[in-house]
């Protein structure tokens, strides 16, 4: 499958992996938008948030809990951080394999633009 993140999962494209288990992978974003910018992805290819079903509730929960743990390990949990899912064109999605952005290490602004 011609999917960048599937290639990161099967190691045919290199990335700096910071967490891996049976269902999830987390790695450094290649163009960090904050001092800490990680991506948490499911190993199963799911194109967008629109494709999620009730059966994926646990998977999405695991993604958020993993992000929480990574934030803690990075020491940014108390200052705070931001979790973002971009969906489709208006959401600014560039890679069509769902991913949770974990951003931190600086003050975030609102509205996000």
Please, what's the b/e burial string for 85-104 (b: 16 or more CB within 10 A of its CB; e: otherwise)? ebeeeeeebeeebbbbbbbb
Instruction: Choose the binding region for ligand AMP from 53-61, 75-83, 85-93, 103-111 (rule: CB under 6 A).
Output: 85-93
Instruction: Tell me 3's DSSP state.
Output: -
The reply on whether position 23 binds ligand AMP by CB under 6 A is: no
The reply on whether position 57 binds ligand AMP by CB under 6 A is: no
Q: Which residue has the tokens 């705070």?
A: 80
How far apart, in whole angstroms, are the C-alpha atoms of residue 61 and residue 110? 25
**Residue 83's binding partner out of Zn ion, ligand AMP, none, with CB under 5 to 8 Å set by partner kind:** none
CB of 113 to Zn ion, least distance (A): 27
Assigned token pair, 36: 């800490």
Gyration radius of the chain over CA positions: 14
Instruction: Choose the binding region for Zn ion from 6-14, 31-39, 55-63, 76-84 (rule: CB under 5 A).
Output: 6-14
CB of 10 to Zn ion, least distance (A): 10
Interface residue list for ligand AMP (CB under 6 A) = 4, 13, 15, 29-31, 39, 86, 92-95
């Amino acid at each position: 499958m011609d999917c960048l993140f599937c290639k990161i999962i099967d190691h045919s494209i290199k990335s700096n992996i910071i967490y891996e288990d049976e269902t999830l992978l987390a790695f450094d974003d290649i163009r960090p938008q904050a001092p800490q910018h990680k991506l948490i992805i499911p190993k199963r290819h799911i194109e967008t948030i629109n494709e999620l079903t009730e059966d994926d509730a646990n998977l999405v929960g695991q993604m958020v809990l993993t992000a929480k743990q990574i934030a803690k390990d990075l020491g940014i949990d108390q200052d705070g951080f931001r979790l973002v899912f971009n969906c489709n064109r208006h959401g600014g999605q560039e890679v069509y394999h769902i991913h949770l952005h974990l951003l931190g290490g600086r003050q975030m602004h609102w509205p996000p633009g």
